[in-house]
């Protein structure tokens, strides 16, 4: 999501860590379960797992690779047309556009006629997603798809409904959230299955549960006693080795506003709440989003979490795991660390905000066997990057006297995790977006851009930073408190342009956002923001051993490329084109090309020879 209002930067602290440093499946009924046999098999072939260390020189420009090249396609040029383009030898096919029915009774038109129809269809803002196979072949499975947002204009253009009315607010709320949909590969391509697992979770329904330190906390309760419902601005995602989906709430603040007198608290200011919000206007017609309504004070604290969904149990309540902290979550990359502890790497997408990780207290299998979620019991850390290429994970716990002086308890701390990061002196970053784990355990983070940086540091080496960069963290066995890091690349028009970028001009790109490292070490890089000469957003593939980079896919004008899922054999990849033409039929009519309002859509990528994507 690249909106002017989303990333204003609400960190008022003056953390200067560099100066500081210079001085110095076992299923249990009632638990989210998933289908462990298939889940575990795919998890451990699909994500970085601790252990296989011994990476080669790796750093681009600092050493030759000795292995065979990983990238087998020829790069495509930048593009500015209203057509998706993919490398020769590949095919890209739209799938599951906005409005696709996934539940019975969804209505017949291309666009939903009202909120009730929208709640039975794919919504808007296709972003993070994951494919959970239900067959060994991977030809059938459950796709969990985040529906991050749709602007009022985009929704109105398609549906011809009028913004600023109660019915429109309900429609907009129904367009947000998550879709869980069974899909299968047929002789005519991937198709929706109207299966029993299909489900829509919207911005307001169903009732969700909270677990972890903030569960039941007064800060999450309203005077009206609202049952917490739904999920908002679901950006990117994660998935667990026990077969569940993690959906990450990002710019939740923008849906709240004030109809009456209201002054932001320190905490509300730190999370970017404002009287007008981002212009959705929900607060005008739904008092739960009205910051000035005393009956609903604290409703805003129910957003900004990582929420777990069991794709196999469509009637189970989604669970917000508060131990992972409340901030503008981008994604949640889960790896298995030493002692089978689960470790979750997360970014907070705001200018000058932080990188985090969560480490479970112990072995995830034994925790689940004892009826505990590994995501409820553990330690949350924020990252401090030193300019010598080392770093420290700073524990965010009230065992720290400095944090105990600020927070009454751990529930308050995780609810205002950003402020905890301020207190301990985490490093303000250039908008942390996705994290992904490479096959040797290296963690890559996209820092998308920061036009307001005035002072560079080693981890954010360009000021201002209009095009972003990717940082690489070597975090040992993942459960420790020290790490090393380097800059994998700096994006831009190319090193020869003098803009500080480290890539070749032919690979020019800006604003890295979505990342996915495959088990061979290919890093898929998706963009959301300004591209060279105003061209379309794109997806490139990097060889993480050599830094070689090739452009694989280009999107649609004013639409971002985001989200990655794949079948276990990696011969089908799903990505998304989000907000094509920013919803303006005068800019784009993707994917229908009949002059109607453009629709956010999944894009299925296959290789014509049936090979692994990227080869
Ligand atoms: Fe939803 Fe930071 O992208
Ligand atoms: Ca972005
Ligand atoms: Ca993003």
Gap between the Cα atoms of 355 and 394, Å rounded: 11
Looking at the CA of residue 349, tell me the nearest atom of ligand 1: 2
C-beta separation of 386 from 17 below 8 A: yes
Q: Is the peptide bond before 440 cis (omega within 30 degrees of 0)?
A: no
pLDDT exceeds 60 at position 601: yes
Q: What is the pLDDT of residue 8?
A: 52
Gap between the Cα atoms of 420 and 380, Å rounded: 10
In 3D space, the residue among 584, 592, 565, 608 whose CA is nearest the CA of residue 132 turns out to be: 565
Looking at the CA of 563, name the nearest ligand: 3
Q: Which helix (H) or strand (E) holds 20?
A: helix 17-22
Report, in angstroms and rounded to the nearest whole number, the Rg of the chain calculated over CA atoms.
22
pLDDT exceeds 90 at position 42: no
pLDDT bucket at 120, cuts 50 / 70 / 90: very high
User: What string of H, E and C letters represents the secondary structure of 344-360?
Assistant: EEEEECCEEECEEEEEE
* Locus of tokens 């959301």: 528
Six-digit token pair at 367? 């925790």
Q: What is the pLDDT of residue 226?
A: 87
Q: What is the pLDDT of residue 174?
A: 98
Residues 548-597: pLDDT tens digits?
Answer: 999 999 999 999 999 999 999 999 999 999 999 999 999 999 999 999 99
The DSSP secondary-structure symbol of 610 reads: S
Looking at the CA of 149, name the nearest ligand: 1
Q: What is the pLDDT of residue 68?
A: 85
- Mean pLDDT, rounded, of the chain: 92
Strand pairing class (209-211; 319-321)? parallel
Residue 512, Cα to own-chain centre: how many angstroms? 12
pLDDT bucket at 15, cuts 50 / 70 / 90: low
Residues 353-404: pLDDT tens digits?
Answer: 999 999 999 999 999 999 999 999 999 999 999 999 999 999 999 999 999 9
Total Cβ atoms within 10 A of residue 487: 19
Looking at the CA of residue 127, tell me the nearest atom of ligand 1: 1
Residues 51-76: pLDDT tens digits?
Answer: 333 333 334 443 444 678 999 999 99
Q: How far is the CA of 432 from the centre of ligand 1 (A)?
A: 9
pLDDT exceeds 60 at position 300: yes
Q: In sequence order, which residues have a C-beta less than 8 Å from that of residue 551 and are 6 or more positions away? A: 75, 76, 77, 78, 87, 507, 509, 538, 539, 540
Q: Which residues of 94-119 are buried (b: 16+ CB within 10 A; e: fewer)?
A: bbbbbbbbbeeebbeebbbeebebbb
**Which parts of 332-483 fold into alpha helices (H)?**
364-369, 401-404, 410-415, 417-424
The more confidently predicted of residues 190 and 10 is 190
Looking at the CA of residue 330, tell me the nearest atom of ligand 1: 2
Nearest CA to ligand 1 atom 3: 1
Gap between the Cα atoms of 418 and 267, Å rounded: 9
Q: How far is the CA of 55 from the centre of ligand 1 (A)?
A: 30
Gap between the Cα atoms of 96 and 600, Å rounded: 9
Q: What is the pLDDT of residue 47?
A: 40
Residues 437-471: pLDDT tens digits?
Answer: 999 999 999 999 999 999 999 999 999 999 999 99
C-beta separation of 536 from 566 below 8 A: no
Total Cβ atoms within 10 A of residue 120: 17
Q: How far is the CA of 236 from the centre of ligand 2 (A)?
A: 10
pLDDT exceeds 60 at position 23: no
Q: What is the pLDDT of residue 14?
A: 61
Residues 303-348: pLDDT tens digits?
Answer: 999 999 999 999 999 999 999 999 999 999 999 999 999 999 999 9
Q: How far is the CA of 236 from the centre of ligand 3 (A)?
A: 6
Q: What is the pLDDT of residue 1?
A: 62
Ligand 1 surroundings by CB, under 6 angstroms: 1, 148, 235, 250, 330, 349, 433, 513
Gap between the Cα atoms of 197 and 182, Å rounded: 7
Q: What is the pLDDT of residue 58?
A: 37
**136, burial (CB in 10 Å: exposed 0-12, middle 13-18, buried 19+):** exposed
Total Cβ atoms within 10 A of residue 329: 31
C-beta separation of 355 from 382 below 8 A: yes
Q: What is the pLDDT of residue 71?
A: 98
Q: How far is the CA of 371 from the centre of ligand 3 (A)?
A: 33
Looking at the CA of 328, name the nearest ligand: 1
């Amino acid at each position: 999501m690249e909106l002017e209002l989303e990333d204003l930067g609400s960190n008022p602290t003056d953390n200067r860590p560099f100066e500081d440093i210079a001085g110095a499946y076992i299923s249990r009924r009632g638990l989210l379960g998933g289908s462990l046999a298939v889940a575990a098999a795919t998890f451990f072939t699909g994500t970085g797992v601790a252990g296989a260390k011994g990476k080669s020189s790796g750093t681009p420009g600092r050493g030759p690779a000795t292995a065979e090249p990983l990238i087998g396609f020829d790069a495509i040029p930048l593009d500015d047309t209203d057509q998706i383009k993919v490398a020769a030898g590949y095919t890209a096919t739209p799938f599951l556009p906005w409005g696709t029915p996934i539940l019975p009774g969804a209505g017949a038109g291309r666009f939903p006629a009202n909120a009730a129809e929208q709640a039975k269809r794919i919504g808007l803002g296709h972003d993070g997603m994951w494919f959970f196979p239900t067959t060994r072949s991977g030809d059938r499975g459950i796709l969990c798809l985040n529906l991050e947002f749709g602007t009022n204009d985009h929704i109105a253009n398609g549906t011809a409904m009028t913004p600023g009315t109660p019915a429109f607010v309900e429609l907009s709320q129904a367009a947000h959230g998550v879709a869980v949909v069974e899909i299968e590969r047929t002789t005519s391509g991937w198709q929706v299955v109207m299966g029993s697992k299909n489900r829509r979770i919207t911005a307001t329904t169903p009732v969700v549960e909270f677990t972890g330190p903030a569960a039941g906390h007064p800060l999450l309760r309203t005077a009206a006693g609202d049952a917490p419902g739904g999920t908002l601005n679901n950006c990117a995602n994660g998935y667990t080795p026990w077969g569940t989906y993690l959906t990450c709430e990002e710019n939740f603040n923008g849906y709240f506003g004030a109809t009456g007198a209201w002054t932001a608290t320190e905490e509300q200011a730190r999370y970017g709440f404002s009287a007008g919000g981002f212009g959705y206007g929900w607060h005008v017609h739904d008092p739960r989003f009205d910051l000035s309504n005393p009956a609903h004070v604290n409703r805003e604290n129910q957003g900004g979490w990582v929420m777990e969904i069991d794709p196999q149990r469509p009637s189970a309540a989604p669970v917000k795991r508060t131990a992972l902290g409340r901030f503008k979550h981008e994604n949640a990359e889960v790896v298995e660390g030493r002692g089978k502890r689960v470790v979750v790497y997360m970014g907070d997408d705001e200018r000058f905000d932080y990188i985090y990780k969560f480490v479970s207290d112990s072995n995830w299998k034994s925790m689940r066997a004892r009826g505990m979620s590994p995501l409820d019991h553990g330690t949350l850390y924020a990252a401090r990057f030193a300019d010598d290429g080392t770093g420290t994970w700073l524990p965010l716990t009230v065992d720290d006297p400095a944090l105990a002086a600020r927070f009454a308890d751990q529930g308050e701390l995780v609810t205002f995790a950003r402020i905890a990061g301020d207190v301990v002196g985490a490093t303000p970053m250039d908008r942390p977006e996705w994290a992904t784990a490479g096959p040797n355990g290296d963690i890559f983070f996209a820092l998308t851009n920061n036009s307001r940086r005035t002072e560079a540091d080693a981890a954010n080496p360009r000021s201002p930073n209009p095009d972003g960069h990717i940082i690489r963290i070597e975090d040992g066995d993942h459960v420790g408190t020290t790490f090393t890091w380097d800059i994998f690349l700096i994006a831009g028009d190319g090193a020869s342009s003098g803009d500080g970028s480290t890539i070749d001009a032919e690979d020019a790109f800006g604003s890295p956002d979505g990342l996915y490292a495959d088990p061979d070490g290919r890093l898929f890089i998706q963009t959301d923001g300004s591209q060279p000469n105003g061209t379309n957003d794109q997806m490139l593939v990097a060889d993480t051993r050599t830094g070689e980079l090739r452009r694989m896919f280009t999107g649609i004008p004013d639409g971002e490329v985001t989200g990655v899922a794949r079948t276990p054999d990696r011969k089908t990849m799903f990505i998304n084109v989000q907000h094509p033409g920013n919803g303006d039929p005068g800019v784009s009519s993707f994917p229908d090309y009949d002059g109607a309002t453009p629709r956010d859509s999944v894009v299925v990528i296959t290789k014509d020879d049936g090979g692994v994507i990227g080869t």
